[in-house]
Amino acid sequence: MDIIVCIKRVPETAEADLVIDASKKAIDTDGLVFSINEWDNYAVEAAIQLKESVGGTITVISVGPEENNEVLRRALAMGADEALRLTDPAFEGSDAYAMAKILAAAVKDIPHDLILTGVQADDDGFGAVGVALAQMLGLPYAALVTDIQLDGETLTVHRELEGGLEEVDTLKLPALLTIQTGINEPRYVSIMGIRRVARKEIGVKGAGDLGLSEEAVGAKGSLSRIEELFFPPVGEGAEIIEGTMDEKTEALVKILKERGGIA
Amino acid sequence: MEKIAVWVEHRQNEIRDITFEMLGKAHQLVGDGGQVIALFLGDPSQKGLLDKITPHAHRTVAYLDSNLKDFEPLRYQAAFADIFEKVDCQLILMGQTAFGMDFAPAVAARWEIPFTTDIVDVEVDGGLIAVRQMYSGKVSAKVSLKEADKMLCTVRAGAFPAEDLPTVSGEVQEITGAVEGDFSARAFVEYLEAAVGDVDITQADVIVSVGRGIKDADNIPVAQELADALGGVVACSRPVADKKWLPKERQVGTSGKTVKPKVYIALGISGAFQHQAGMKNAGTIIAVNKDPKAPIFGIAHYGIVDDLFKVVPALTEKVKELRGWGNSDK
Amino acid sequence: MEELQQPLPERLDLFTCIQCGKCTGGCPVSIKSPLNIRRVIRETVVREDLHGFFSRLEIWDCTTCSTCAIRCPRGLKPVDAIIGLREMMVEEGRIEKTIIDALDGAYKYGNPWGRAKNKRAEWAQDLDIQNALEMDPGQILYFVCCAASYDPRVQVVAKTLVTVLKAAGVSFGILGNKEVCCGSEIRRMGEVGLFEMLMEENMKNFGKIEPATIVTTSPHCMNALKNEYEGLGSEVLHYSQFVRRLMDEGKLAFETEVPMKVTYHDPCYLGKQNGVFDEPREILTSIPGIEFIEFGRCRENSLCCEGGGGRMWMEGTNQGKRLSEVRVEDALEMGVEAIITACPFCLLTLEDAVKTTGNEEKIKIIDLMELAVMGLGKTLETEG
Ligand SMILES: Cc1cc2nc3c(=O)[nH]c(=O)nc-3n(C[C@@H](O)[C@H](O)[C@H](O)COP(=O)(O)OP(=O)(O)OC[C@H]3O[C@@H](n4cnc5c(N)ncnc54)[C@H](O)[C@@H]3O)c2cc1C
Ligand SMILES: Cc1cc2nc3c(=O)[nH]c(=O)nc-3n(C[C@H](O)[C@H](O)[C@H](O)COP(=O)(O)OP(=O)(O)OC[C@H]3O[C@@H](n4cnc5c(N)ncnc54)[C@H](O)[C@@H]3O)c2cc1C
Ligand code: SF4
Ligand code: SF4
């Protein structure tokens, strides 16, 4: 079984004090630590487990600058066979739709029975690239996958629904799945493991190599645009809710509703 | 914006809350004179569900086909293709839910509908500006969509209130469909309830976590009831797991699990460094603690300084009230 | 890297083991864990394939206290077999999530708790401490430790040490946000590559300032820097050794009465592994008012607190009573008001045990430097 996994390199921002840059459209990533998108780490592990059980190859693809080699190398150390990086100045400003077009152009040239993406990216979190990509490729797909069983040409998958409910679906290969965290326990990648693949070549392709016109990708080929970033109002430390018990719980219910606390 | 279509999300013969939240926002956006259109795909036997929808939509387009009972994206898309032209609207709203995340990007890609996802607000002022969160909620973004006849947004659950929906006298347009084609490439099989007792706190969106402040194993149900009402799970600090009041798998922290729920409610937890390490990345942290100096308040977003045994039952009551016991999705 | 290629028994000379069992006899966790170090040695020698170990969680129960190495009549280091097995598990990537998180944190942020790099020196913000990177060669460097940098409880220890050093008129600096984890625990969790990486990073900075002496908060850092950092020219001292020296040099004297009955818990990495038994005792007994009594199990026979060898991130399989709880109960029986210790991990595990045994009102866990500050008549910061 030949599997393609799309992986994104994202900044880790949970611990950091973020700064919005001068363009107001992006954050200042200076000093931030980058790593593989958490969901994609699970996707790579899922691919390796499938390969371990039925054989085949794994190709990892990432769209982005040379720094993305880091996450591609890590995936190679984890057990992927080939790595491909897609980069072109024309790709800048791509939204999820344009990103899917870029990936679609690349996977067309690579034999595949299965494509895996993450459910969403840690940073932008559009949660859209995988499903849009499947649509462009005309592949059956399933989003939010938490379990994969392979039986010949048929996949049986579980999808995570709300409130602890799951859905079971079958899919015919070739197919695309967007992988949810928790589907497996991604293995650790040791520093020595990464060093061992340090010299492995990583393929690079640009818009031209993929047969993509400049109009098709980047800001021009996108359907949406980020206009402005801003900080939602938050205070230092906890906002202490005061009042009578009734007022306190009333305020809590409101917060719970707003913050997705009532699942 | 005059015409907005809202995708009616239903599962297991229940309309999901998100639908009403979107209807509310749609009414607000179209204002007087505008039109809110409800889009319903389902099995003819599910027609009764429409009774809850039609009073709140100017028009309801119901596509009924015996194969549309459960969500299958390929079949749903084919059905939607049948009516796509007939639905005259500028904006389609879907939920950023297990349904919407599986369906919306495909629909958008297929018809090249400008779209964005997981929005928490939307303004229409000339063009459309959606507000969505990035970097786990640390930054908000205004996103504009390319001009087009139709646009699409998926809406975060809970972003808009579902109460006080305007009642309008709406018409229903029933379409008895017969979706043609071979959709076996992806087929729905069944629903699976998560096994009881088999709680994975790392996957939960809502966590009610208890510390030593819970005092005794007999008090765990106080937290459990709140968790049930919220649709969440109960987790704990290490001493609680140590004492076997809850299984070890529920322990949050450096030597337990790392969790990242949307909401983490810490009840009677002091917030030791080792505990914080396991939950500091939760979307919203709410702490209830008697001690105003407890370190947990240093990382919580909201706090209540009070006895948890007073706060929690009162809160549980309020949440149950809100849910109206039973008409919700569990 | 070469070393790893060699099979474990050859690398560690395990063939010479006579299966006497002295190692297991002294192993503090053997009474409560399936871990039997003698048997592990035997199995590593006779088994062709060591993969069978990979699913055995008790390999992570070892606290790397090194009691086994002290007791082995053949001069073997049984603990290194455990670390060797962990190395193999790490290479396969099959390790527990909490361990992965700790390793990832150290890799990305330079500390196993994954806290932000630029917050490492936040504890020192208002203390007016020199940036070591601007010091001339031959000075004193204070190597703070991840726990002391980030854990509010241990930050207090770092602050008190700073108070003590300043009281003695010592000129010193810290690396601030440039310091990274010493790698001691990382190595013991089996991630040699990462240990080397962290070591190189620290060595790069040490090289810039060539300190005459490096003083550490943690015995674990001290042990790593002193015994495992190859080519480090500086003298490495745990703070207890350094402060003891300051007393000798007449720079420091404790004159404030601290009426308290205390005992002292020997950190394994300070005592058993580096033979530093006397200095901490000499410091605390020089404080007027202190009534000192020894634990029954002290010095070489001291009971491990279970905080080392990665155990801060891995509970281990043992269901029995925590050894730290045993320690606290022993101390209560002795009627002391406080256990004094000199290691961040001991401090945390013992203090936690005070809580879990519900003895907050009866006994305190105090770091040696906190006691020293009292002896200097300064105020002790308790709020972290
Ligand atoms: C300079 C710059 C400008 C930008 N401008 C815009 C803009 O104007 N409008 C806008 O909407 N966005 C913009 N973005 C962000 C944009 O490129 C997003 O990455 C894109 O919208 C995809 O969304 P997502 O990353 O949230 O993917 P999701 O849909 O959340 O990701 C799902 C999955 O898709 C795959 N995937 C996503 N990205 C990649 C990748 N790079 N390589 C390989 N696989 C990937 C992964 O498997 C991932 O798990 C900009 C980014 C940059 C750096
Ligand atoms: C190596 C090691 C690993 C550890 N790993 C973990 C870990 O993974 N996870 C973890 O959680 N801990 C861990 N710990 C323990 C940690 O250090 C703390 O001891 C622990 O988190 C404290 O738990 P707690 O907050 O429940 O209890 P306490 O610190 O005792 O706090 C109880 C809180 O409840 C409040 N309270 C009491 N009664 C009420 C009431 N009626 N209403 C409201 N509030 C009330 C009190 O004010 C207090 O703040 C670890 C410790 C060590 C040494
Ligand atoms: S190092 Fe300590 S815990 Fe580990 S095997 Fe040896 S004696 Fe036991
Ligand atoms: S003490 Fe040494 S010789 Fe005796 S069993 Fe243990 S390792 Fe072997």
Instruction: Say what the pLDDT of residue C306 is.
Output: 94
Q: Give the separation between CA A34 and CA A12, rounded to whole angstroms.
A: 6
**Top-ranked range on mean pLDDT: pick from A74-83, B286-295, C355-364:** A74-83
Least confident range of A129-138, C285-294, C352-361:
C352-361
Show the tokens assigned to B269: 């937890």
pTM (whole model) above 0.80: yes
pLDDT tens-digit map of C128-162: 999 999 999 999 999 999 999 999 999 999 999 99
Nearest neighbour of B98 by CB, restricted to A160, A181, A249:
A160
Query: Quick check: do C2-91 and C97-248 share a fold?
Result: no
Q: How far is C324 from chain A (nearest CA, A)?
A: 30
Q: Rounded mean pLDDT of A102-131?
A: 96
Q: Between chain A and chain C, how many beta carbons pairs sit less than 8 Å apart?
A: 49
Mean pLDDT confidence for C113-140: 94
Tell me which architecture the domain covering C2-91 has in CATH: Orthogonal Bundle (1.10)
Residue C1 binned pLDDT confidence (cut-offs 50, 70, 90):
very low
Q: What is the DSSP string of A72-116?
A: HHHHHHHT-SEEEEE--GGGTT--HHHHHHHHHHHHTTS--SEEE
Antiparallel, parallel or unpaired: β A114-118 and C338-341 = unpaired
Does domain A2-205 sit in CATH 1.10.10.60?
A: no
Are the C-beta atoms of B59 and B88 separated by less than 8 Å? no
On chain B, the residues whose CB falls within 8 A of the CB of A232 are 133, 137-140
- Please indicate if any CB of chain C lies within 8 Å of the CB of B281: no
Pick the CATH number of C97-248 from 2.60.40, 3.40.50, 3.40.1710, 2.30.29: 3.40.50
Pairing mode, if any, of strands A175-179 and A141-151? Answer: parallel
Q: Is the pLDDT at C111 greater than 60, yes or no?
A: yes
**Ligand in closest contact with the CA of B144:** 1
Report the atom number in ligand 1 closest to the C-alpha of A121. 30
Spell out which residues of chain B touch residue A181, defining contact as CB-CB under 8 Å.
202-203
Residue B326 phi, psi dihedral angles, 5° rounding: 110, -35
ipTM of model: 0.91
- pLDDT value of position C99: 95
So what's the pLDDT on residue A106?
98
Measured distance CA(A97)–CA(A224) in Å, rounded: 8
- Quick check: CB of C63 below 6 Å from ligand 3? yes
Mutate to test the pocket of ligand 2, among C352, C354, C359, C360 (most ligand atoms within 8 A of CB): C352
Residues in the ligand 4 pocket, defined by CB under 6 Å: C 17-23, 38, 41, 71-74, 76, 78
**Ranges of each domain in chain A:** 2-205
Query: How distant is the alpha carbon of residue C377 from its chain centre?
Result: 28
Q: Chain A, 218-237: which have a CB under 8 Å from a chain B CB?
A: 222-232, 234, 237
Percent of chain A with pLDDT over 70: 98
C-alpha span between C107 and C103 (Å, rounded): 6
Instruction: Tell me the pairing of strands B186-193 and A165-172.
Output: antiparallel
User: How distant, in Å, are the alpha carbons of C26, C36, C43 from that of C70?
Assistant: 9, 16, 21
Q: Best interface-test mutation with A: which of C4, C90, C104 has the largest number of A CBs within 10 A?
A: C90
Domains with residue ranges and CATH for chain B: 3-176 (3.40.50.620), 201-322 (3.40.50.1220)
Rounding to the nearest 10 degrees, give the CA dihedral for residues C112, C98, C155, C141.
-20
Mean pLDDT for C64-68 is 96
Substitution target from C107, C195, C196, C314 for chain A, most A beta carbons within 10 A: C107
Counting Cα atoms < 13 Å in the Cβ hemisphere of A224 gives 29
Token duo for residue B226: 């709140």
Residue from C7, C239, C191, C3 nearest C91 by CA: C191
Can you give the residue ranges of every domain in chain C?
2-91, 97-248, 260-375
Complete edge-to-edge strand list for the sheet that includes strand C213-216:
C130-131, C172-174, C140-143, C213-216, C235-238
Judge whether residue A78 has pLDDT over 90.
yes
Chains in contact with C, where contact means 3 or more Cβ–Cβ distances below 8 Å, are A, B
CB contact under 8 A, A262 and B319: yes
Answer whether residue C381 shows pLDDT above 70. no
| Ramachandran class of B31: left when φ > 0, alpha when ψ lies in -120 to 50, beta otherwise | left
Name the CATH code of domain C260-375 (choices 3.40.50.1860, 1.10.10.10, 2.60.40.2140, 3.40.50.1820): 3.40.50.1860
pLDDT in tens, chain B (330 residues): 899 999 999 999 999 989 999 999 999 999 888 999 999 999 999 999 999 999 999 999 999 999 999 999 999 999 999 888 888 999 999 999 999 999 999 999 999 999 999 999 999 877 899 999 898 778 999 999 999 999 999 999 878 888 789 999 889 999 988 888 999 999 999 999 866 566 789 888 999 999 999 988 999 999 999 999 999 999 999 889 878 899 988 999 888 888 989 999 999 999 988 898 889 889 899 999 999 988 899 889 999 999 999 999 999 999 998 887 544 443
pLDDT in the model for residue B71: 95
Contacts of C93 in chain A (CB under 8 A): 78, 187-190, 193
Contact C113 B255 (CB under 8 A): no
Contact indicator for C294, C264 with CB cutoff of 8 Å? yes
In tens, the pLDDT along C10-63 reads 999 999 999 999 999 999 999 889 999 999 999 999 988 888 888 899 999 999
Mean pLDDT of chain A: 94
Q: Which amino acid is at B287?
A: A
CA of C41 to the centre of ligand 4 (A): 8
Q: Which helix (H) or strand (E) holds B191?
A: strand B186-193
| Residue C303, ligand 3, Cβ within 6 A | no
